[in-house]
Amino acid sequence: MSIEPQTSVLAAISNAMVRLHKDQFGRGPTRARTEWAGPDQLVVTLEDTLTPVERRLRAMGEHERLRDTRLLFQYAAQAELTGVVEELTGRRVRAFVSGLDTRTDVACEVFILAAQNGT
């Protein structure tokens, strides 16, 4: 694959993640970036994702509860998130890992893909 199709796939994944977050959580991130982290791993970085009530929890110092609740929601939406990546890359998602830094409002979705030969 040349650089141009790779870039358009990465941009399409970022755009899809913004749409999915808006649909699933009522608010999408204001910044999203998707990058390859090796031949079989994609990292989607999302910034400014917290809803108003989540920002209030952060202000109250409830970082652990906020993180636990958000991660529960992320994993509840796992099928939708991985489905988009599979559709746009043409590869099966072998593993999904989600994380959130509540202090800086930066989230990462990591997708480990099956090898190009399907294993």
Tokens of 67: 């993180």
Digit-coded pLDDT (tens) for 83-113: 999 999 999 999 999 999 999 999 999 999 9
Digit-coded pLDDT (tens) for 23-73: 988 889 999 999 999 999 999 999 999 999 999 999 999 999 999 999 999
Residue 30 lies in a domain: yes
Digit-coded pLDDT (tens) for 16-25: 999 999 998 8
- Rounded (5°) CA angle 82-109-48: 125
Digit-coded pLDDT (tens) for 64-91: 999 999 999 999 999 999 999 999 999 9
Residue 58 lies in a domain: yes
Residue 103 lies in a domain: yes
Reported confidence tier of residue 117, pLDDT bands at 50, 70, 90: confident
Residue 119 lies in a domain: no
Residue 45 lies in a domain: yes
Residue 118 lies in a domain: no
Q: Read out DSSP for the chain?
A: --HHHHHHHHHHHHHHHHHHHHHHHS---SEEEEEESSTTEEEEEEES---HHHHHHHHTT-HHHHHHHHHHHHHHTHHHHHHHHHHHHSS-EEEEEEEEETTTTEEEEEEEEPPTT--
Residue 16 lies in a domain: yes
pLDDT value at position 3? 43
Question: How many structural domains comprise the chain?
Answer: 1
State which residues form the domain around 65. 3-113
pLDDT value at position 119? 60
Tokens of 108: 């990462």
